[in-house]
Amino acid sequence: MHIWPRLLDHPFYTAWTRGDIPLSVLAGYHRAYGELVRQLPSLWKTVVTAFRPGDPLGTSVIAEETDHVRLWQLWGKALTPPENTPSLTPLVVELQRMSPSTLLGSLQAFEVQQPEVARTKREGLVTHYGFDPATLAYFDEHEKEEEHIRYGRQLARVNADPGEFDEGMRRGAALFYRSLDVFVDQDPPTDRRHPS
- Whole-model pTM: value is 0.92
| Domain extents in the chain | 21-183
Q: What pLDDT is stored for residue 84 in this prediction?
A: 86
Of the pLDDT bands very low, low, confident and very high (cuts 50, 70, 90), residue 186 is low
How many CB atoms within 10 Å of residue 114?
18
Q: How confident is the model at residue 190 (pLDDT cuts 50, 70, 90)?
A: very low
Q: At what angle do helices 56-76 and 146-158 cross, to 10 degrees?
A: 140
Q: How far is CA 94 from CA 40, 127, 170, in A?
A: 13, 35, 14
**pLDDT over threshold 50, residue 143:** yes
Q: CATH homologous superfamily of domain 21-183?
A: Heme oxygenase-like (1.20.910.10)
107: confidence class by pLDDT, cuts 50, 70, 90: very high
pLDDT given for residue 24 in this prediction: 95
